[in-house]
Amino acid sequence: MNVSPVEPQMLSDLSVASDRGSAALVAGLKAYFRSGSTAELAWRRRQLIQLRKMLTENEARFIQALREDLHKAPQESYLTEISFLYNDIDHTLKHLKKWVRPRKVSSPLLAQPAKSYIKPEPLGVVLIIGAWNYPLQLLLSPLVPVIAAGNCAVVKPSELSPAVSHLIAELLPRYLDNDAFACVEGAVAETTGLLEQRWDHIMYTGGGRVGKIIMSAASKHLTPVTLELGGKSPCIVADDADIETAARRIAWGKFTNAGQTCIAPDYVLCTRHTADRLVPAISKAVQQMFGRNPRQSADYGRIVNSQHTLRLADLLGDGEVIFGGEVDAGECYMAPTLMRCVNLDSPVMQEEIFGPLLPVVELEEFGKVEEFVNEREKPLALYIFTRSDAIADRILSLCSSGNACVNDCMMFMLAQDLPFGGVGASGIGCYHGEHGFKTFSHYKAVMKRKNILDVDLRYAPYTNRKYKWLKMLQR
Ligand code: NAD
């Protein structure tokens, strides 16, 4: 964004102007929402089809923008961003008619004759705030259920992925109903202006620090929030794991998008015996994927900016680098890196890494893994590599996490019927498939009564006879 020097007075004028802009925008969207147009099933379907068309007709441009922002390989962008959205939209279009249907439930004897049902209704105008690491998917994947549920929305892409942000801002108004949807670009000031408005729901993806700012702004209007946050996702490797397969899958989970994935394994947890076999196997898997010099690989990503690269470089001192470790802040490059003997009290084990650096933490005995995980914040994802169902089930039942995967990393994201979301410090609420539709709908309880038969048991004056009958009927 180009910012020219301005006087303090001018700055406050600008922020007032932008607040007015946000207020007018939200008022317009609310008025359209109240017209009832967005509740029509045909309208929702049309918008979803248009959103898909926006992606198909501009696929090459999105792939190019993702390359510019994060040096993503086209295949990676296709798998983790674009095809992900195609599947999301197709799945929603296939099931939407069923999801919107009111669901009948029984009515109590005292209320007969009556019909009771639960009717999903749209919430209104939703604010979607995206993050930079999957800048397309994380902004539009929430928009799919927002549309499906019949809402209007403002999307706010991350300023740290400007190429994707500009492209969405350019294309969205060309494809979607402009009375119902808008894209607002910008950073903290613009987001703050948006957060001052009264929304019917706020969907935020990003770190927990800003998550608190979002929740506090939402609380002023009692606006419900969905917070898709992050944290340290442990990757537990048992002694009986298939080491070769585990290594390949962990390397893929950790080093895709140069480790800048909210559900990437943050650290490995295993015994020394397993670490001795796993570390060389992961190093081999990295070389198979990105060659001996990943910097020259067209398939290996870059860190989003030099500030984050320097943050990651600082973490290299928190343990012993076994593999990788090369950093070039000018090029936003950090090699896929493995560390051992990390200091558990140092930043590498206290903060979410969010980069291509994988510490392998060794435990004296494998039986301590649950304790290790449970002493820390509840993670967004938990990975367990083992051949034993008993080990997997024990860890799954003792350790809470937003999502979990046995013998792989991140693959649950592809299952449309699984909810995606955190728990505790890793997030509030969930989406994907019908779970997203539910998040952006209100399930209204409706009872329709008839005027015939008006049993007088509930009306005063209360008598012993009425009391006796009431007790019989309400048993
Ligand atoms: P980011 O810097 O892109 O910030 C996210 C959004 O918050 C942006 O749109 C940004 O403009 C806005 N923002 C930043 N500061 C703000 C402020 N002071 N007030 C209002 N809005 C503000 O992303 P990030 O926070 O660096 O993202 C990384 C974090 O997000 C990691 O913790 C990661 O695990 C998490 N994440 C979670 C998911 C998920 O689906 N659960 C997905 C991706 C990233």
Q: Which residue is catalytic, options 76, 81, 190, 228?
A: 228
What order do you get walking across the sheet with 357-363 strand by strand?
320-323, 337-340, 357-363, 267-271, 234-237, 381-385, 403-406
CB 442 within 8 A of CB 200: no
Of 81, 139, 209, 210, best ligand 1 pocket probe by most atoms within 8 Å of the beta carbon: 210
**Segment 263-305, tens digit of pLDDT:** 999 999 999 999 999 999 999 999 999 999 999 999 999 999 9
Rounded to an integer, what distance in angstroms lies between the CA atom of residue 116 and that of residue 420? Answer: 31
Residue nearest to atom 14 of ligand 1 (CA): 188
Residues of the chain with CATH 3.40.309.10: 234-416
CATH for the 20-230+425-444 domain, from 3.40.605.10, 3.40.640.10, 3.20.20.10, 3.10.100.10:
3.40.605.10
Q: Does domain 234-416 have CATH number 3.40.309.10?
A: yes
**Segment 158-206, tens digit of pLDDT:** 999 999 999 999 999 999 999 999 999 999 999 999 999 999 999 999 9
Instruction: Give the pLDDT of residue 35.
Output: 98
Distance of alpha carbon 169 from its chain centroid, rounded? Answer: 21
Coil, strand, or helix at residue 253?
helix
Taking the centre of ligand 1 as the mean of its atom positions, its distance from the CA of residue 355, in whole angstroms, is: 15
Residue range 325-329: mean pLDDT, rounded: 97
Residue 442, Cβ neighbours under 10 Å: how many? 16
Rounded to an integer, what distance in angstroms lies between the CA atom of residue 345 and that of residue 374? Answer: 16
pLDDT tops 80 at residue 434: yes
pLDDT tops 70 at residue 413: yes
Which ranges constitute the DSSP H helices of 58-136?
59-70, 74-77, 83-100
Residue range 49-68: mean pLDDT, rounded: 98
Distance of alpha carbon 175 from its chain centroid, rounded? Answer: 24
* Whole-structure pTM value: 0.94
Coil, strand, or helix at residue 114?
strand
Rounded to an integer, what distance in angstroms lies between the CA atom of residue 137 and that of residue 66? Answer: 11
Coil, strand, or helix at residue 337?
strand
Rounded to an integer, what distance in angstroms lies between the CA atom of residue 141 and that of residue 436? Answer: 9
- Residues lining ligand 1, judged by CB closer than 6 Å? 129-133, 138, 156, 158-160, 187-188, 191-192, 205-207, 210, 213, 228-230, 262, 352, 354, 380, 422, 427
Instruction: Give the pLDDT of residue 18.
Output: 57
Question: Minimal CA–CA distance to 311: which of 337, 329, 330, 336?
Answer: 329
Question: Minimal CA–CA distance to 426: which of 192, 107, 207, 138?
Answer: 207
- Cα-based distances in Å from 212 to 132, 206, 207, 222, 320: 18, 11, 9, 14, 34
Residue in this structure with the two tokens 């770190």, named with its chain if needed: 207
User: Alpha-carbon torsion 29, 33, 35, 38, what sign?
Assistant: positive
Which ranges constitute the DSSP H helices of 403-450?
433-439
Q: Is the peptide bond before 113 cis (omega within 30 degrees of 0)?
A: yes
Residue in this structure with the two tokens 């070039």, named with its chain if needed: 328
CB 289 within 8 A of CB 252: yes
pLDDT tops 80 at residue 12: no
Residues of the chain with CATH 3.40.605.10: 20-230+425-444
Which ranges constitute the DSSP H helices of 375-422?
389-398
Local structure of residue 407 (DSSP, 8 states): S
Taking the centre of ligand 1 as the mean of its atom positions, its distance from the CA of residue 210, in whole angstroms, is: 7
Local structure of residue 359 (DSSP, 8 states): E
Rounded to an integer, what distance in angstroms lies between the CA atom of residue 212 and that of residue 225? Answer: 11
Residue 323: beta bridge partners? 338
Rg (CA), the chain: 26
Instruction: Give the pLDDT of residue 21.
Output: 87
Rounded to an integer, what distance in angstroms lies between the CA atom of residue 385 and that of residue 242? Answer: 8
Nearest atom (ligand 1) to Cα of 228:
41
Question: Minimal CA–CA distance to 230: which of 268, 190, 194, 265?
Answer: 265
Mutual angle of helices 41-57 and 137-148, in 10-degree steps: 160
Rounded to an integer, what distance in angstroms lies between the CA atom of residue 359 and that of residue 362? Answer: 10
Considering the chain, what percentage of its residues have pLDDT values greater than 70? 96
Encoded tokens for 409: 């990393």
Residue 374, Cβ neighbours under 10 Å: how many? 11
Local structure of residue 172 (DSSP, 8 states): H
CB 437 within 8 A of CB 149: yes
Local structure of residue 196 (DSSP, 8 states): T
**What type of residue is 19?**
D
Taking the centre of ligand 1 as the mean of its atom positions, its distance from the CA of residue 108, in whole angstroms, is: 47
Max CA pair span of the chain: 89
Is 228 an active-site residue?
Answer: yes
19 confidence band (pLDDT: 50, 70, 90): low
CB 184 within 8 A of CB 194: yes
Instruction: Give the pLDDT of residue 475.
Output: 73
Residue nearest to atom 19 of ligand 1 (CA): 188
